[in-house]
């Protein structure tokens, strides 16, 4: 079945990968941050939440696919996901471990990375920079069919979202007995599916809010818009409550910010869906849509390209001050070119996965 591809999906992915790209730019040389002003540092750090935007978009687009395909055999779903992610991810492991001298440490760590479990069983080392983010996405794929069966309405998705907040703090206490020196606020735990399930559930809510438009293909009208605004209201209230609560503990600081910013991103996604027709011919929209088309390859390869651009040219400049915009632009253009080539490999394996599932 040929599914309609919405242009706003690639636009949102483009925004997400650009935020991630910006966030990682200053991380390759410690002196880089020393040359930045306070506002510049905050600007780059804001890109941290590009991952959350990815997760929201991933959840609602996969739900669109599941509803339209109406497949009872979820083996096909898993097969498509494997052929979509695994080839480039494994290739990324080979390149990253070589360029960044990442240590496999032992067979257990290698297997955890290959099976996308390295974010669940600490301590383990990523064999690809940012690998925990991809592992969390794959963890979500694993449980999505089960969630699809039980979370089948807006009301249920909202209830599960609220429940996930309480569950997270319970799990935080529980895991404290096994890893007393860590909390879910630490970076490694923060990126796990246990924490990020809240964000994926925002994708569920996005889907059910826009169900009539995305699946039933009804045109936007006053009644649909009114219904959408009413369903968004509880999320605005939750965001306001989260914002009013103080930064009490280190882990709570991460939770608070992630919860709040993710809801803002949720509102942004719904805004884009509502007004896509008004902005789809805008140059900025088209640029980010191009980035979004190859966003997975950009995520895997931008680490490599940014490092090489820095090492082979910009690190040798005696006065780097004021040249960061040039560094960003050059790195982004080269990353996009490399990712276009990588995307051809992606498409090849996606076609294989599609052929295999079409036979089942």
CA distance 234 to 240: 10
Please spell the DSSP secondary structure of 192-234, one letter per residue.
SHHHHHHHHHHHHHHHHHTHHHHTS-PPP-HHHHHHHHHHHHH
Q: With contact defined as beta carbons under 8 Å apart, do 249 and 36 qualify?
A: no
Determine the straight-line distance between the first and last CA of the chain, rounded to whole angstroms: 13
- For the chain, give the number of residues: 360
Number of H helices, E strands in the chain: 16, 0
Say which DSSP state 318 is in.
Answer: S
Give pLDDT tens digits for 45-88. 777 889 999 999 999 999 998 988 877 778 899 999 999 999 99
CA distance 244 to 130: 31
What does the pLDDT read at residue 1? 44
Give pLDDT tens digits for 272-286. 998 888 888 899 999
The upper half-sphere exposure of residue 308, i.e. CA atoms within 13 Å in the direction of its Cβ, equals 14
Q: With contact defined as beta carbons under 8 Å apart, do 339 and 293 qualify?
A: no
Give pLDDT tens digits for 339-356. 999 999 999 999 999 898
Residues of the chain with confidence (pLDDT) below 70: 1-5, 26-36, 122-124, 172, 175-189, 220, 246-255, 318-322, 360
Tokens of 148: 């699809």
- Supply the pTM of this predicted model: 0.90
């Amino acid at each position: 079945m040929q599914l309609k591809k919405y242009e706003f999906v690639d636009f949102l992915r483009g925004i997400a990968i650009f935020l991630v790209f910006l966030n990682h730019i200053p991380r390759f040389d410690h002196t880089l941050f020393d040359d930045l002003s306070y506002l510049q540092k905050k600007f780059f750090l804001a890109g941290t939440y590009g991952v959350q935007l990815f997760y929201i978009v991933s959840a609602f687009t996969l739900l669109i696919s599941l509803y339209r395909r109406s497949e009872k055999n979820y083996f096909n779903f898993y097969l498509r996901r494997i052929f979509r992610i695994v080839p480039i991810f494994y290739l990324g492991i080979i390149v990253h471990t070589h360029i960044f001298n990442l240590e496999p440490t032992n067979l257990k760590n290698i297997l955890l990375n290959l099976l996308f479990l390295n974010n669940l069983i600490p301590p383990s080392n990523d064999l690809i920079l940012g690998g925990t983010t991809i592992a969390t996405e794959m963890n979500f794929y694993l449980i999505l069919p089960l969630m699809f069966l039980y979370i089948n309405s807006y009301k249920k998705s909202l209830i599960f979202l609220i429940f996930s907040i309480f569950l997270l703090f319970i799990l935080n206490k529980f895991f404290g007995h096994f890893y007393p020196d860590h909390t879910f606020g630490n970076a490694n735990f923060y990126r796990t599916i246990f924490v990020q399930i809240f964000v994926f559930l925002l994708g569920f809510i996005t889907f059910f809010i826009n169900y009539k438009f995305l699946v039933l293909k009804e045109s936007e009208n006053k009644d649909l818009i009114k219904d959408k605004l009413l369903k968004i209201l509880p999320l605005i209230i939750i965001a306001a409550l989260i914002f009013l609560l103080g930064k009490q503990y280190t882990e709570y600081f991460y939770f608070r910010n992630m919860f709040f910013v993710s809801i803002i991103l949720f509102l942004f996604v719904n805004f884009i869906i509502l007004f896509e027709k008004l902005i789809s011919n805008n140059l900025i929209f088209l640029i980010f849509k191009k980035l979004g088309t190859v966003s997975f390859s950009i995520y895997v390869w931008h680490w490599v390209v940014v490092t090489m651009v820095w090492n082979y040219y910009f690190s040798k400049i005696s006065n780097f001050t004021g040249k960061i915009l040039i560094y960003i632009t050059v790195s982004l253009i080269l990353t996009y070119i490399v990712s276009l080539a990588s995307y051809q490999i992606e498409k090849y394996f996606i076609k294989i996965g599609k052929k295999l599932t079409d036979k089942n």
